[in-house]
């Protein structure tokens, strides 16, 4: 049985075997109290470092765990024993949606709400004691969901606000979608990436190439696949195009929305952002004049690339243009970089042989080339540039 907040009943449980969820609908400043006894509260965090993040908070002020008296330690044992049963009953997604509607709109919450592991079975827990809290210690409880490749050590590091997770140590058999999700929906990594890219580069020059012939047609409709830090999305809005954007990263979407709300308060009149993977998003047929996708298709498994090109190509109007790119390389399969992001590599010839042969006749290869210059971040990385035209 899945319980939502309207079903919870207030019980100050002394017997953990009869533990029940608490009915008080008012949110604690940390989140939602779901169980308590006279010494401890168990709280579902409104800013979860990972999906299902719980906090055990003492009702007495303890600066470290060694100060806890033996009676409160016994009560703590009750809380710990209640966690597996309660966690199996909590509808995390419903709670996170309620937090969002109540004004908790942090990047961490959005990432948890969109986690692909949120509805999976919990197989274990990580407990991290945080003695740095201003008023008292707290114990962080991180569920380990079945199928989640992140091990408990990494979860503990994330909980303690480490500078970054060594995501490159992930299992190599992850799907590209899982690996990309692990990086781009990790709040600290995604937001750092957002800031770094916006500081490091300007507008991609090929966006202007794709925009040629549309400057006087302000009703031109664009789709930005993988908007990321939003540099191109923002430029298109500024030039009064109508533009939709999608990205798998909840944290970056929230950051971009906040930035646009500040700089272009009316941007929603011409723009819309979707938090979605390429696989899940369903574009309207023959809806867009231009599709822009920079450094996004390279995060797919190779077998997904041609089907995704066909899918999004069908969303173009007649004579519409579709830009995408890949890093140049000879590797046969995708690989994870040091931060755990998946990449596939092509040359002009390997792309034509492995992908173009599977692209439908509704798209023609308008141009494919490799510029000789360094990339926008000053690296010697070469990029395979591709433009399709809708027949």
Confidence of residue 378 (pLDDT cuts 50, 70, 90): low
User: Cα Rg for the chain, rounded, in angstroms?
Assistant: 24
Query: What is the arithmetic mean of pLDDT over 245-266?
Result: 92
Q: What is the mean pLDDT of the chain?
A: 80
Q: Which residue has the higher pLDDT, 219 or 245?
A: 245
Residue 169 structure tokens:
């140590």
Query: What is the arithmetic mean of pLDDT over 248-271?
Result: 92
- 127-131, 138-142, 351-355: range with highest mean pLDDT: 351-355
Question: 127-136, 216-225, 313-322: lowest mean pLDDT where?
Answer: 127-136
Q: Is the pLDDT confidence value at 2 over 50?
A: no
The CATH code for residues 5-162 is 3.30.428
Q: Where do runs of H (alpha helix) occur along 53-124? A: 70-89, 92-101, 107-113
Q: Is the pLDDT confidence value at 240 over 50?
A: yes
Question: 85-89, 245-249, 260-264, 312-316: lowest mean pLDDT where?
Answer: 85-89
SS3 content of the chain, % helix, strand, coil (to 5): 35, 25, 40
Q: What is the pLDDT of residues 9-62, one digit of tens each?
A: 223 333 333 333 433 434 455 688 989 999 999 999 888 877 888 989 898 888
Q: At what angle do helices 187-200 and 176-184 cross, to 10 degrees?
A: 80
Q: In this structure, are residues 183 and 339 in contact, taking their beta carbons and an 8 Å threshold?
A: yes
Q: What is the pLDDT of residue 187?
A: 76
146 burial level (CB within 10 Å; 0-12, 13-18, 19+)? exposed
101 Cβ contact partners less than 8 Å away, ≥ 6 residues apart: none
**Fold of the 193-390 domain:** Rossmann fold (3.40.50)
Alpha-carbon distance of 25 to 22, in angstroms, equals 8
The helix or strand, by DSSP H or E, that contains position 63, with its residue range, turns out to be: none
Beta-sheet strand order (sheet of 40-45): 31-36, 40-45, 54-58, 138-145, 122-130
Alpha-carbon distance of 317 to 106, in angstroms, equals 37
CA distances (Å), origin 255, targets 105, 191, 270, 308, 313: 10, 8, 18, 27, 29
Q: Is the pLDDT confidence value at 388 over 60?
A: yes
153 Cβ contact partners less than 8 Å away, ≥ 6 residues apart: none
Q: In this structure, are residues 281 and 114 in contact, taking their beta carbons and an 8 Å threshold?
A: no
Domain ranges of the chain: 5-162, 193-390
Question: 113-127, 133-147, 260-274: lowest mean pLDDT where?
Answer: 133-147
Confidence of residue 369 (pLDDT cuts 50, 70, 90): very high
Alpha-carbon distance of 201 to 219, in angstroms, equals 28
Q: In this structure, are residues 336 and 172 in contact, taking their beta carbons and an 8 Å threshold?
A: yes
Q: What is the pLDDT of residues 49-86, one digit of tens each?
A: 778 889 898 988 887 776 788 788 888 888 988 888 88
Q: Which of 170, 146, 148, 142 is nearest to 49 (CA)?
A: 142
Q: Which residue has the higher pLDDT, 142 or 268?
A: 268
Question: 88-102, 105-119, 190-204, 337-351: lowest mean pLDDT where?
Answer: 105-119
Q: Is the pLDDT confidence value at 324 over 90?
A: yes
Q: What is the pLDDT of residue 217?
A: 66
Alpha-carbon distance of 32 to 47, in angstroms, equals 11
Helix (H, G, I), strand (E, B) or coil at 61: coil
Q: What is the pLDDT of residues 144-186, one digit of tens each?
A: 887 665 544 445 444 443 333 333 444 455 788 888 888 898 8
Residue 61 structure tokens:
């002020």
């Amino acid at each position: 049985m899945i319980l939502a907040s309207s079903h919870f009943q207030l019980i100050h449980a002394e017997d953990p075997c009869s533990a029940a969820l608490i009915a008080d609908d008012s949110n604690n400043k940390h989140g939602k109290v779901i169980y308590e006894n006279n010494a401890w509260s168990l709280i579902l965090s409104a800013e979860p470092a990972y999906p299902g993040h719980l906090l055990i908070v003492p009702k007495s002020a303890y600066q470290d765990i060694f100060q806890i008296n033996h009676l409160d330690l016994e009560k703590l044992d009750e809380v710990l024993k209640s966690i597996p049963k309660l966690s199996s009953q909590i509808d995390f997604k419903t709670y996170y949606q309620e937090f969002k509607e109540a004004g908790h709109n942090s990047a961490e919450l959005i990432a948890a709400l969109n986690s692909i592991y949120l509805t999976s079975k919990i197989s274990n827990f990580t407990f991290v004691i945080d003695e740095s809290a201003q008023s008292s210690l707290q114990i962080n409880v991180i569920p380990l969901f079945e199928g989640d490749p992140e091990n408990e050590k990494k979860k503990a590091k994330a909980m303690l606000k480490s500078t970054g997770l060594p995501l490159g140590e992930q299992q190599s058999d992850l799907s590209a979608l899982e690996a990309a999700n692990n990086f781009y929906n990790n709040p600290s990594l995604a937001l750092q990436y957002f800031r770094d890219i916006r500081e490091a580069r300007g507008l991609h020059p090929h966006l202007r190439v794709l925009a040629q012939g549309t400057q006087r047609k302000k009703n031109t409709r664009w789709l930005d696949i993988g908007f990321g830090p939003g540099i191109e999305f923002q430029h298109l809005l500024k030039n009064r195009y109508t533009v939709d954007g999608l990205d798998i990263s909840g944290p970056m979407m929230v950051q971009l929305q906040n930035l646009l709300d500040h700089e272009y308060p009316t941007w929603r009149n011409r723009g819309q952002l979707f938090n979605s993977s390429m696989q899940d998003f369903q574009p309207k047929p023959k809806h867009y004049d231009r599709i822009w996708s920079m450094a996004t298709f390279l995060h797919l498994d190779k077998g997904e690339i041609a089907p995704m090109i066909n899918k999004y190509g069908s969303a173009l109007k007649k004579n519409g243009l579709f830009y995408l790119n890949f890093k140049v390389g000879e590797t046969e399969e995708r690989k994870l970089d040091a931060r755990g992001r998946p990449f596939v590599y092509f040359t002009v010839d390997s792309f034509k042989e492995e992908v173009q042969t599977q692209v439908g006749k509704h798209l023609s290869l308008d141009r494919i080339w490799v510029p000789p210059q360094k990339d926008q971040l000053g690296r010697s990385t070469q990029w395979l540039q591709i433009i399709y035209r809708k027949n």
